[in-house]
Structures are given as structure tokens and as C-alpha cells.
């Protein structure tokens, strides 16, 4: 297993370009299931979850061509033949977003068999709302041997109100509804930019829908969809991670190729915390020349403060003067990074879904363990301001969702390198 070795102390200076959004690319790839024609996706990030989805679609019989050379961020997916409409345990256990194929598979082929994902480092994360939504569209669902089997001759439009806001649940049901017979009205939908991006792709494929980005989405089902070409939106979580890194390290960083409107909640908080910004077109310059002050955050669905940025913000809060209260409202167990930050010298107390961070604490390098994607990013950020060397173990979590993180950080002045695990020598070898 690879590790990162980070030596702290350097401010981040220069320009960093944001990649395509993993969480928009994954549903877009699943949407290709809805048509026999090729779907061309651009700005696909080169991260491990994308490779997992490629394997998932290939195992069903899809042709998936990942670009190389100058076209390295382009993917062409053709789901003409889907001989095995199934998502097996081996892939689902490594990536929960595999369940995004459930809706499109039933809609297109009339049947789907998808392994039920187990628990996760950040919470229980059930998929009951995906299942309820499909049942409302007329699918028959059976659960046995750890799998969900969904069947329907043809899905039928209906009204669906999500009991709570779910991002991939909204995407899954939206993909099912576009090929259902008649009208579907979805209420209490997720309003995340990734849902809007998926809807934009579906419209290019011939879907008839409106309201994506609001809590009510109306869909008039069509008989078939066709191929399309679509460019994935920039990754707002990667962008937020670099913006925080710039402010935290006292740097002067230009973060380019992002959508500033996606950063509204973060920028408001960072401004309160004393960082300075300059927004210009598709870039944000962050200047960390002021001392940081404590500011409370509470995670919410979009457009609120993203749960996927909570861990990175906590690293910053350890370096802010005063007490920051961080409330996690989306997932029940998303504070694993706090314990590792404490090992580096942070003063953090967990009280239920609140973390009380008292700053400013000097951090010192230590060996720390990454528990999930965003927790790992938080540890990298802390390491950038820690005294001495930090070794971050299990960086495969980072590789799932950050494209070339260490190269990007090195280019703006960070001292970070990747080391592979030394294999033990065999006796006598």
C-alpha cells in the first residue's frame, strides 16, 4: 500500500488547475446504459473510482474506451449489448456509487441485479430510498443472497417524494424515470451541481425533464434515448480542498478551471475566518496572509456547506485562533480524521455530531492513517503545516477521488512524495 511522506512548512504558491468532478462523472457513465448509442464524456478525472466504474460497465458487456495521450480525459461508452445487467459484490464493495447502475439498468433492460453495499467508514449509508423510488415506478424488488433484484416490463411514471435528500438516490431515480412511461414528479430532490450536470447530459441524450437544481424535478418519459457528447463539470470538492490549502498554508494560490458559484458556502466561512479572495471568471485567487480566526460550520445539503469539505475545514480550524464548532449533519460517523489530527497535536473534542476544535495548536508530523477519501485530504492539509515529517498511510483512499494530488501539490511548492510499501524479503532471497 502506498504512503505519502509530507514535510510541512511551505506556503502554497502559484496556479493549480482543477480536474473534472468524480461525483459527476460516475452518474454520467451510468447514464450511458440508457442508450444503445455511444456516449462521449470529456473532462473525466483519472482516478480509481472511474476505473472501477469502467470495470463495472465492461463486466455488463459495455464497450468502454478510456482516452490516452491528448484525449486522456475522454471516455467513450457504448452499451449496445448489455449481456449481464449486474453489479457484482467485488466491485460494489470497493465503490458504493456502483448502485447508480440500478435505475438505468432496470429502465433499459427490464432487470437489474446489484449487490447491496455494506457499511462504510463514514456511516451506515443504506440505499432504501433508491429502492422505494424504483418501487414507486412499478419495479418489483427482491432482496436475497446480498443482492437486490429489480424487474419491470416498462417502468411507469409516478410521484416520488424522497424521505430525505439523497444525491445518488436522486440521480438513480432520475435515470430510471427518463425511460419510464408517462410523467414522474420527484420531490425533495438533491440540488447538488452533480445532479444538474447529469440532467444536462440526459437532455442531450433526448430526455424530457425540467427542474434539476431545484427540489422538484419533472420528467416526461420517452421511448428511447440516443448518444451524446458531454463535458463533466469541474470538481467542486477538489477545488475546495485547494482553496483551503492556500488559506491554511498562508499561501497565494490561483485555483483555476472551477465554478465559483459552487464555492459560495465555503468562501463565506473562509472570509469569516480571515482569508482573502479574488474571484475572476473561472478562477479564485486565495491569499492566506492574515492570521486565521475560528468560525463555526454545519454541514448541509447543497447549497449549504458540503460534508465532503468538513474534514479539510477541520484541518484549517486547528490553525485558527479560538474555538470552532463543526457540526456534521449528513453522515453519522464522519469524524475519523479528528482522532488522527489529535495525534498530530490538535485540540479536538467530539460530542455526538459536533467537533469542538480549539486553536491555534502547533501540529507535529506523525504517522497517521487515512480512513476515507476526504479524511485523507484533511490529513494531507494538516501535514502541510505540521512541523517535521508526516507519513500518511492508506493513500489508496486519496487515489479514489483526487487526480494526481501529490504532483499538483508539488507544483505549487509542497514537499510531498509517494512511497510504495517495501515487500518483506523472502528468507534466503
Instruction: Return residues touching ligand EPU (CB under 6 A).
Output: 23, 26, 97, 123-130, 164, 166-169, 194, 307-308, 330-331, 373-374, 401
Q: Which positions ≥6 away from 352 have C-beta within 8 Å?
A: none
Q: How far apart are CA 225 and CA 208, in angstroms?
A: 10
CB nearer to ligand EPU: pick between 277 and 402: 402
Please state the closest distance from residue 254 (CB atom) to ligand EPU, in A. Answer: 24
Q: Crossing angle, helix 102-109 and helix 167-177, to 10 degrees? A: 10
Q: Crossing angle, helix 22-31 and helix 48-60, to 10 degrees? A: 10
Q: Which positions ≥6 away from 358 have C-beta within 8 Å?
A: 322, 323, 347, 348
Please state the closest distance from residue 168 (CB atom) to ligand EPU, in A. Answer: 3
Q: Could you tell me if 201 and 31 are in contact, meaning their C-beta atoms sit under 8 angstroms apart? A: yes
- Given the residues 78, 79, 120, 189, select the one marked as catalytic: 120
Please state the closest distance from residue 427 (CB atom) to ligand EPU, in A. Answer: 42
Pairing outcome for strands 140-144 and 111-115: unpaired
Q: Could you tell me if 407 and 398 are in contact, meaning their C-beta atoms sit under 8 angstroms apart? A: no
CB nearer to ligand EPU: pick between 308 and 340: 308
CA 86 to each of CA 50, 105, 133, 178: distance values in angstroms, whole numbers, following the listed order? 18, 8, 19, 20
Q: Which of 403, 402, 396 is nearest to 421 (CA)?
A: 396
CB nearer to ligand EPU: pick between 167 and 294: 167
Please state the closest distance from residue 244 (CB atom) to ligand EPU, in A. Answer: 15
Q: Which of 220, 174, 132, 143 is nearest to 28 (CA)?
A: 174
Q: Please, which residues bridge with residue 283 across strands?
A: 280
Q: Could you tell me if 38 and 61 are in contact, meaning their C-beta atoms sit under 8 angstroms apart? A: no
Q: Is 79 a catalytic residue?
A: no
Q: Which of 18, 20, 17 is nearest to 46 (CA)?
A: 20
CA 365 to each of CA 361, 389, 409: distance values in angstroms, whole numbers, following the listed order? 13, 5, 18
Please state the closest distance from residue 389 (CB atom) to ligand EPU, in A. Answer: 26
Report phi then psi at 115, rounded to 5. Answer: -65, 140
Residues with a known catalytic role: 120
Amino acid at each position: 500500500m502506498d504512503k505519502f511522506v509530507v514535510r510541512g512548512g511551505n506556503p502554497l504558491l502559484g496556479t493549480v488547475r482543477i480536474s473534472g468532478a468524480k461525483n459527476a462523472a460516475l452518474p454520467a457513465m451510468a447514464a450511458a446504459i440508457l442508450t444503445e448509442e455511444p456516449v462521449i464524456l470529456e473532462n473525466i478525472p483519472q482516478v480509481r473510482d472511474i476505473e472501477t466504474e469502467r470495470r463495472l460497465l465492461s463486466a455488463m458487456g459495455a464497450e468502454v474506451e478510456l482516452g490516452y495521450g491528448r484525449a486522456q480525459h475522454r471516455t467513450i461508452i457504448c452499451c449496445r449489448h448489455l449481456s449481464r445487467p449486474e453489479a457484482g459484490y467485488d466491485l460494489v464493495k470497493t465503490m458504493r456509487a456502483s448502485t447508480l447502475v440500478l435505475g438505468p439498468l432496470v429502465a433499459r433492460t427490464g432487470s437489474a441485479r446489484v449487490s447491496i453495499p455494506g457499511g462504510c467508514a463514514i456511516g451506515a449509508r443504506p440505499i432504501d430510498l433508491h429502492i422505494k423510488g424504483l418501487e414507486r415506478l412499478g419495479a418489483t424488488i427482491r432482496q436475497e443472497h446480498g443482492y437486490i433484484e429489480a424487474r419491470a416490463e416498462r417502468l411507469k411514471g409516478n410521484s416520488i417524494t424522497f424521505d430525505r435528500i439523497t444525491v445518488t438516490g436522486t440521480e438513480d431515480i432520475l435515470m430510471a424515470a427518463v425511460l419510464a412511461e408517462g410523467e414522474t414528479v420527484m420531490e425533495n430532490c438533491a440540488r447538488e451541481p452533480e445532479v444538474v450536470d447529469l440532467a444536462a447530459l440526459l437532455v442531450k441524450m433526448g430526455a424530457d425533464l425540467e427542474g434539476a437544481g431545484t427540489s422538484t424535478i419533472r420528467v416526461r418519459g420517452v421511448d428511447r434515448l440516443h448518444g451524446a457528447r458531454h463535458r463533466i463539470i469541474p470538481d467542486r470538492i477538489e477545488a475546495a480542498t485547494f482553496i483551503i490549502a492556500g488559506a491554511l498554508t498562508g499561501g497565494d494560490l490561483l485555483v483555476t478551471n472551477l465554478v465559483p458559484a459552487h464555492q459560495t458556502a465555503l468562501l463565506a466561512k473562509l472570509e469569516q475566518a480571515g482569508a482573502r479572495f479574488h474571484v475572476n471568471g473561472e478562477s479564485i485567487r486565495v491569499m492566506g496572509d492574515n492570521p486565521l480566526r475560528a468560525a463555526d460550520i454545519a454541514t448541509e445539503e447543497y447549497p449549504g456547506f458540503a460534508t465532503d469539505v468538513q474534514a479539510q475545514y477541520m484541518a484549517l480550524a486547528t490553525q485558527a485562533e479560538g474555538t470552532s464548532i463543526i457540526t456534521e449533519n449528513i453522515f453519522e460517523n464522519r469524524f475519523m480524521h479528528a482522532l488522527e489530527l489529535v495525534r498530530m497535536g490538535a485540540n479536538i473534542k467530539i460530542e455526538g455530531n459536533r467537533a469542538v476544535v480549539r486553536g491555534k495548536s502547533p501540529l507535529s508530523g506523525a504517522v497517521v492513517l487515512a480512513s476515507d477519501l476526504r479524511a485523507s485530504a484533511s490529513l494531507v492539509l494538516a501535514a502541510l503545516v505540521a512541523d517535521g515529517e508526516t507519513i500518511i498511510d492508506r493513500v489508496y483512499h486519496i487515489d479514489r477521488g483526487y487526480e494526481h494530488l501529490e504532483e499538483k501539490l508539488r507544483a505549487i511548492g509542497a514537499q510531498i512524495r509517494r512511497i510504495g510499501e517495501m515487500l518483506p524479503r523472502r528468507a534466503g532471497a
